[in-house]
Chains A and B, each alone.
Chain A
Amino acid sequence: MCAHSPDSGSHLSHADAGHPAADPPAGVVLSVAGLCKRYSEVIAVEDVSFDVHRREVVGLLGPNGAGKTTTLNMILGVLSPTAGSVRIGGIDLALGRARALAQANFSAVYAPLPGNLTVEQNLRFFGLVYGIPGLGRRVGELLREFDLERLRATKCGVLSSGEQTRVALAKAVLNRPRLLLLDEPTASLDPAAAQTVRARIRGLAAEAGCGILWTSHNMYEVEAVCDRVLFLSHGRILLEGDPRRLPREYGAATLEELFIRLAREPLAEPMGRAG
């Protein structure tokens, strides 16, 4: 059960300087330990623990209401956990919020960039907020990299879904994050645009070396992109493993079938492997 965290509700008040970061295990960019979130009598997330390593894409899967977005919000510091800890690049989020979040970034379909700013203005605005050195050069790089140069003076509110996704991804990598959180980044894209985005994100993990935590309901996409998946249901992790091997190990034909079976478990207990 969720024991109350001594840090919950107060972590934003701590100064970010002066708290030494514990050395993270080699290559670990995100370490979540015993994370719980309780709203009165409702437990949204219970005792969730996992790591994300450099160059690794980890899928966070689960039915609606499983606790995926709650978990992401706690990692992003916009929701305080009832118990447990989040360490980004070895820095405890509760003790060094600004330093921890400087190493992370995110993109979520439900958090569009301000539609009343242009593409370039949004990148400059968030670039300053993240304290990016050489911002003009970095914005130019991203406009080219994400094929946004012709849209640089267009307000984000009038972009198509695919274009908005590209801008959101450009903003998400502005600070060259060690940890990238992506909440259904391809949810509103056509298959061709989704494939391009997937390739780009895979490239980020491989070339930039960041660790990526990815949520999606598209099991085909998960198999294609993720090195490892975590199945979340009723706020708890039920399964963890390679998305290409898990279905066979648990007696399902496909990852989608395994997902559906897990989602329909009324009281989801950790499943036994197939004989």
Chain B
Amino acid sequence: MRMKPVAGILLRQFYLIRGSPVRALPMFAWVAIDIVVWGFITRYLNSMAAGRFNYVPSLLGAVLLWDFFTRIMQGVSTAFLEDVWSRNFLNLFATPLTISEYILGLVITSVGTSAVGLAVMLVLATAVFGLSFFSLGVLLVPFLLVLFGFGIALGILASALVLRLGPASEWLVWPLPALLSPFVGVFYPLATLPRWMQDIGHLLPPSYVFEGMRAVLAGRPFPAGGLAVGAAIAALDIVLAGYFFTRVFRYAIRTGLLARYSAESAS
């Protein structure tokens, strides 16, 4: 793999973000609003609980991790959609660029944009609402890595869907995380769910993160085994999503979909 083309994909996204406040704002605005809203909800719940339970880590921590996952996923798919919106496929894929170089460029873009969002969330949640996430220290890293892996996989999958189904299918991308959220127990233990939903939840890496986070906050041992399973599923999902994207790309090359994509984008 050559790094110059990857740097090209990154540079393009950097130019777009630098040149457009409309693109820069969503990197931190929505996550900041989420943290503020949920921060006040947890304050209210804490006042109702009168010291019997601290909702800040379990609720606000869950919101923070979930928003991080969502940002990662949307970071990949939004970078991809930039090429859809600017009808750039023909220019891009008539070059020596390989699929792996292209996807790596999208992933690194997402890392950068999500890091901004994560930093804003951590600062707000810690400074304003007293979330002591930093006290988890390095234990936070595995949680973030599993969510990062699955976010990447879902972002690649969403991009492949848009490539396969056409520009109008862009609306499918945005609700994907919300569609998964009931199954992964962001705010409640998986045991709360009916059996069939639990079975689906066990196939989704974020379930292990949120179960693990609640275990740590409850003072139980660090759930290394569960997180390892989550990480393995996330890694497998990345491979499967990459394979799916490649298959869709080949289909688009074979059927002429890629060559016609510009014309379809214009309609």
Which A positions have Cβ atoms within 8 angstroms of B?
8-10, 12-13, 16, 37, 39, 69-70, 73, 76-80, 97-99, 101-102, 104, 106, 108, 110-118, 121, 124-131, 171
Which 7 A-B pairs give the minimum distances between C-beta atoms? A128-B8, A98-B96, A76-B94, A114-B86, A111-B90, A129-B8, A9-B254
Given A80-B253, A117-B16, A125:B96 Cβ within 8 A: no
Q: Does B250 contact A (CB under 8 A)?
A: yes
Contact call B250/A10, Cβ cutoff below 8 A: yes
Pull 14 A–B residue pairs with CB atoms less than 8 Å apart, ordered by A.
A9-B251, A12-B98, A13-B246, A73-B256, A77-B93, A77-B94, A110-B90, A110-B263, A112-B87, A114-B91, A116-B19, A117-B16, A117-B19, A121-B12
Contact call B259/A78, Cβ cutoff below 8 A: yes
User: Which of B88, B253, B259, B263 meets A114, CB within 8 Å?
Assistant: B88
Contact call B93/A78, Cβ cutoff below 8 A: yes
Separation of A9 and B253 alpha carbons in the complex (Å)? 7
B side interface size, CB within 8 A: 38
Contact call A116/B96, Cβ cutoff below 8 A: no
Complex interface: chain A residues within 8 A of B99 (CB)? 12
Q: Does B262 contact A (CB under 8 A)?
A: yes
Complex interface: chain A residues within 8 A of B94 (CB)? 76-78, 101, 104, 106
Separation of A104 and B88 alpha carbons in the complex (Å)? 17
User: Which of B4, B86, B95 meets A101, CB within 8 Å?
Assistant: B95
Q: Which of A76, A111, A115 has the most CB of B within 10 A?
A: A111
Given A12-B99, A130-B95, A131-B4, A79:B259 Cβ within 8 A: yes
Contact call A101/B250, Cβ cutoff below 8 A: no
Chain A residue at smallest Cβ distance from B85: A116
Complex interface: chain B residues within 8 A of A117 (CB)? 12, 15-16, 19
Q: Does B7 contact A (CB under 8 A)?
A: yes
- Report the tally of A-B residue pairs with Cβ distances under 8 A: 112
Contact call B259/A101, Cβ cutoff below 8 A: no
Given A125-B12, A128-B7, A128-B11, A99:B96 Cβ within 8 A: yes
Complex interface: chain B residues within 8 A of A77 (CB)? 93-94, 253
Chain A nearest CB, measured from B9 CB (Å): 8
Chain A nearest CB, measured from B94 CB (Å): 4
Given A79-B258, A79-B259, A128-B7, A12:B253 Cβ within 8 A: yes
Additional A-B contact list (8), CB under 8 Å, known A39-B256, A78-B259: A9-B254, A12-B98, A73-B256, A110-B262, A114-B88, A121-B15, A128-B4, A131-B2
Given A73-B256, A79-B256, A126:B20 Cβ within 8 A: no
Complex interface: chain B residues within 8 A of A121 (CB)? 12, 15
Chain A residue at smallest Cβ distance from B252: A78
Contact call A129/B253, Cβ cutoff below 8 A: no
Q: Does B244 contact A (CB under 8 A)?
A: no
Contact call A126/B91, Cβ cutoff below 8 A: yes
Complex interface: chain B residues within 8 A of A13 (CB)? 246, 250
Chain B residue at smallest Cβ distance from A69: B259
Separation of A8 and B90 alpha carbons in the complex (Å)? 19
Contact call A98/B98, Cβ cutoff below 8 A: yes
